[in-house]
Chain A
Amino acid sequence: MDDLVLKVVARVIIPFIQVYGLYVVLHGHLSPGGGFAGGVILAGGFILYALAYGRPALDSLLPDRLAALLESGGVLWYTGLGLVGLLTGSAFLANARAGFPLGVPGRLFSGGIVFLLNLGIGLKVAATISTLFRNLQEEE
C-alpha cells in the first residue's frame, strides 16, 4: 500500500468527504440524511485514510480506546438526552415538551433535540464503522 497517486488523491478528497459527512449529520433535521448516513460517510473518510496511508496512521488518528469511548458515548448521549425529557416530567425522548427550544424552522439550530441526537448518532456510527473495517482487515 505505497501508492503516490492514491496518497495524493486521498489527501485532496478526504477533507471534502469529511465536510460532506459533517454536513449530512448536522443537517439531518433539514434535508435528507442524518446521523446514520452522515456517520457512514465520515467513516468512509477514515477508511480511505487507512487504505492510502496504512493502518498505523489510522490507529494513531483514532485509537481503539477513543473509538470504544465514542461508540458507547454516542448512545449514552442519546439516552441521556432522552432522560432529560423523563426528568422534566414529560416522557422519554420528549422534545419541545421537555423544554428544548425549537428555534426557527429551516435554520441549522432548530428542531430542538433532533439536532443533538443526530450528532451523537453520527459520532457513534463513524466510530463503529471504522472499527468494523479495522477488525475485518486486521493482520494476523
Chain B
Amino acid sequence: MLTVRSLLLALLLLSALAVARTRDLLSAAVIFAGYSLIMATVWQQLRAPDIALAEAAIGAGITSLLFIVTVARTGRYEK
C-alpha cells in the first residue's frame, strides 16, 4: 500500500518536472495528460472516486485536448 502510494507520488513529481524541462509544447501537453491520469489514480487511492472520475475526464481528457488544439494553432516550440 505504502509503496504504491509513494510510487504514484514520485511519478507525479517526475512528470511535473518533465513538463518543466521539455521545450516542446506538444509533448508538455501530453505529459500533462499523463500527470492528470496519475493524479486520478491518487484520488482513487485517497478514497475520492468522484474526483478521480472528474479528473480523468477533465484533466486527462478535455484540458489536454484544449491545450493540444491551442498548441496546434500557435506554434509548437518554446523559444
- Which A residues are closer than 8 A to B by beta carbons? 24, 32-34, 36-37, 40-41, 43-44, 47, 129, 132-133, 136-137
Contact = CB atoms under 8 A, between A and B. Distances in A.
Contact of B54 (A36, A44, A133): A36
Main secondary structure of the interface of B (DSSP, over half): helix
B7 interface: no
17 contacts: A32-B52, A37-B50, A40-B54, A40-B57, A40-B58, A41-B57, A41-B61, A43-B62, A44-B57, A44-B61, A47-B65, A132-B62, A132-B66, A133-B62, A133-B65, A136-B66, A136-B73
User: Chain B, interface size: which category?
Assistant: 10 to 19
A133 B57 contact: no
A130 to B, nearest CB: 10
Interface of B: 49-50, 52-54, 57-58, 61-62, 65-66, 69-70, 73
A40 B61 contact: yes
Contacts, number: 40
A113 to B, nearest CB: 18
B50 to A, nearest CB: 5
